[in-house]
Amino acid sequence: MRPLVTLVVSVMQFNRRNILYMQNMTPIVRFIKAQRIKWLGHIQRMDQARPTRKLLDWKPMGTRPVAKPRQRWQEDVMEDLEKLKVKNWKEAAKDRRTWRDLAEKAKTYKGL
C-alpha cells in the first residue's frame, strides 16, 4: 500500500511541474520578487514629499538586537538587485522602460 501512495504523489508532482512548464508560468517566488522590484522603482520615482518615499529614504535610529536581526524589506530587494547584477539602481529606476524590463528579467532569472 505504501509504495502505491508514493508513486501517486510522485506522478502528481511530476504532472504539476509539467503543467507549469507548459503554461510558461514563472514560479511564485520569482514573481513576488519581481513585483517587489517594480514597487521599489515606483517608490523611487515618487515625489520626495510623499510619505512612502520618505520611508524609503528613512534611516532608523538606535541599535538593532545583538542576535541575527530580521532583514528589512529594502535589504531583501537590494539583495535581489545584486543577484541581477544591477549597478546604480536609483538611476536605473528613473527610466520606467528600463526598470520594467529589469522586473521582467527577474521573473525568469534562475538565480532569484
User: For residue range 55-102, what is the model confidence (pLDDT) as tens digits?
Assistant: 888 887 887 777 777 778 888 999 999 999 998 999 999 999 999 999
Instruction: Give the residue numbers spanning the domain of 92.
Output: 26-58+71-108
User: How many domains does one find in the chain?
Assistant: 1
Q: Which of 8, 84, 6, 9 is nearest to 41 (CA)?
A: 84
In a domain, 17, yes or no: no
Q: Is the per-residue pLDDT at 40 higher than 70?
A: yes
Distance CA 95, CA 38 (A): 12
In a domain, 103, yes or no: yes
Q: Is the per-residue pLDDT at 106 higher than 60?
A: yes
